[in-house]
Amino acid sequence: VQLVESGGGLVQPGGSLRLSCSASGFTVSRYAMHWVRQAPGKGLQYVSAISSNGGVTYYADSVKGRFTISRDISKNSVYLQMSSLRVEDTAIYYCVRAWGGDWGQGTLVTVSS
């Protein structure tokens, strides 16, 4: 099992960014997939999830209405579209499979002017 995140970078407040999580060794259509973030020097925060059938999504209150999780089964990938970004969204964003047994290496998102 391997999860590889990409798409992070520096963005201005109010801007947008799309994170990708490319999965290998398993099929994303068979597992719930999650995004967890970690601000610099801080703890872990649950961000979003998509169910195994893709029909149910979850968002933390802090990102609801600004972030959208999705997946592309043909590319075996999961995405996190982030808009109206705030300074407090600065963090490493991890892609996580199912019940938390597999994590990617993370991608750093920095929101700053």
Partner 1 sequence: DVVMTQSPLSLPVTLGQAASISCRSSQSLVHSDGNTYLNWFHQRPGQSPRRLIYQVSKRVSGVPDRFSGSGSGTDFTLRISRVEAEDVGVYYCMQSTHAWTFGQGTKVEIK
Site for partner 1, rule CB under 8 A: 34, 36, 43-46, 49, 58, 61, 94, 99-101, 103-106
Cβ nearer to partner 1, comparing 40 with 113: 40
d(C-alpha 91, C-alpha 18), whole Å: 14
- Residue 13 tokens read as 């407040």
Measured from the CB atom, the residue of 3 and 13 that comes closer to partner 1 is 3
What is the phi/psi pair of residue 88, to 5°?
-75, -5
Minimum CB separation of residue 74 from partner 1 in Å reads 26
In angstroms, give the least distance from the CB of 46 to partner 1: 4
**Number of C-alpha atoms within 13 angstroms, CB side, residue 15?**
15
SS3 content of the chain, % helix, strand, coil (to 5): 10, 50, 40
Least gap, CB of 103 to partner 1 (angstroms): 4
Report in angstroms how near the CB of residue 78 gets to partner 1 at its nearest: 16
**DSSP class of 100:** T
In the complex with partner 1, which residue's Cβ is closer, 44 or 73? Answer: 44
